[in-house]
A = this chain, B = another copy of it.
Amino acid sequence: MSYARQMLDTYPRTVDLNADLLAAAIDTLSDCAQACIADTDADLSEQNLAEMVRCVRLCLDCTDVCTATAGVISRLAEYDPATTKPLLEACAAVCKSCGDECERHAPHHEHCRVCAEACRRCEWACRDLLAALK
């Protein structure tokens, strides 16, 4: 069981959101941030560096937004839809852009294939959580 899930299960207040969905979102955001940090560095080690620049930039954006989103949705008690909804939308959007770009490089760079998968899962987790919030 992930720490996100264990922390949710021991939370001192009742949480309105589905705990499975929320724990999955926190884990997936954390995985995606981690994969994007590593992919940035792997991209910078490639021979076709000029073609990897867009991927580097999107991985940096994706890291920043996933990290912030994981933080905000982990603070359950003061949940504010005016912040959380556009933040999840921004996160789904950056995961989609970054996942698309990583997928373009996946045939040549295995690390981009792994990162694309992390981005896709994160995009879906954000969209699932958005749907549950409506």
Contact = CB atoms under 8 A, between A and B. Distances in A.
Describe A's contact surface by its main secondary structure. Answer: helix
A39 B31 CA distance: 19
Given A41-B57, A94-B83, A97-B80, A34 B74 contact: yes
Most chain B CB within 10 A, of A26, A32, A58, A86, is at A86
A121 B10 CA distance: 19
Interface of A: 2-4, 6-8, 10-13, 26, 30-35, 37-42, 44-46, 49-50, 53-54, 56-58, 60-61, 64-65, 67-68, 70-72, 74-78, 80, 82-87, 89-90, 93-94, 96-97, 109-111, 113-115, 118
